[in-house]
Amino acid sequence: MRWHFHLASPPHADGVFNMALDEALMRRAGRTGEAVFRVYGWSAPTLSLGRNQRARGWYDEAGARALGVGFVRRPTGGRALLHDHEVTYSATMPLDDAAEARVAYDFINDVLLGALSRLGVKAERASTPTSLPPGVRPCFDVPAAREIVVEGRKLVGSAQWRRGGALLQHGSVLIRDDQATISRLTKTTSDDPPAAATLLNALGREPSLEEVSGPIRESLQAAVGARAEPLCSDRELERDVERLAVAYADESWTWRR
């Protein structure tokens, strides 16, 4: 499989564009048979909702606007996640069945673990057999089995989606832990989640997105044994992004349930 690596310039965009491009790249994988590992950031704090998460009526939208926090619903499952002080990744590849998806999940985590090691972060896979249904509790509340943790605390939150013979997996590597903001924006009374692991705590400083992207690319190339070429956009990809951006901006999708 041919891999590309994509770090846009500038690398930060809004939630609608980020979700539209991730899905468009998944469609591209099904069309071309090529894989893309993308690293990106967010131009404004954004709370992303899992595909099947119940959210309508649960969040204080006025309070979120006052804090400058937007909302977007992901194509992937899982629970709420605040995107702000983090490095976000996506991996898209041609893939057909659930068994291959599990293999892909472990492969992508291997790439991330290799990148973290290059940065000097001692991370590992969680062994806790925790399985949590979609809900208003934050994604980083409790690590599930095989997720990436540091000293038992979740550092990377990831989710997958398969469609049309292709897979999308994307997730966040926390630079700073601001996930408690999610609890403060819910209309139900809830305690702040346990502290998550962060690159700040692991390294004693906050690395830039560009500083993290280099080790990810190096780790990907080591894993596949080949150079990951830059992604060159094409008109079909751009058209998909344009169409999908309309869908992700639609309030009926964001608050579908």
The residue behind tokens 């830059």 is 230
* Identity of the amino acid at 187: K
- The span from the CA of 83 to the CA of 88, in Å, is 8
DSSP annotation of 250: -
Amino acid symbol at 177: D
DSSP characters for 94-121?
E--SHHHHHHHHHHHHHHHHHHHHHHT-
Give the closest residue to 251 by CA, choosing from 13, 21, 59, 12: 59
Q: Which of 72, 68, 79 is nearest to 251 (CA)?
A: 72
Q: Are the beta carbons of 119 and 175 closer than 8 angstroms?
A: no
Query: Which residues are known to be catalytic?
Result: 139
Tokens of 89: 């990744």
- Cα(first)–Cα(last) distance of the chain, in Å? 37
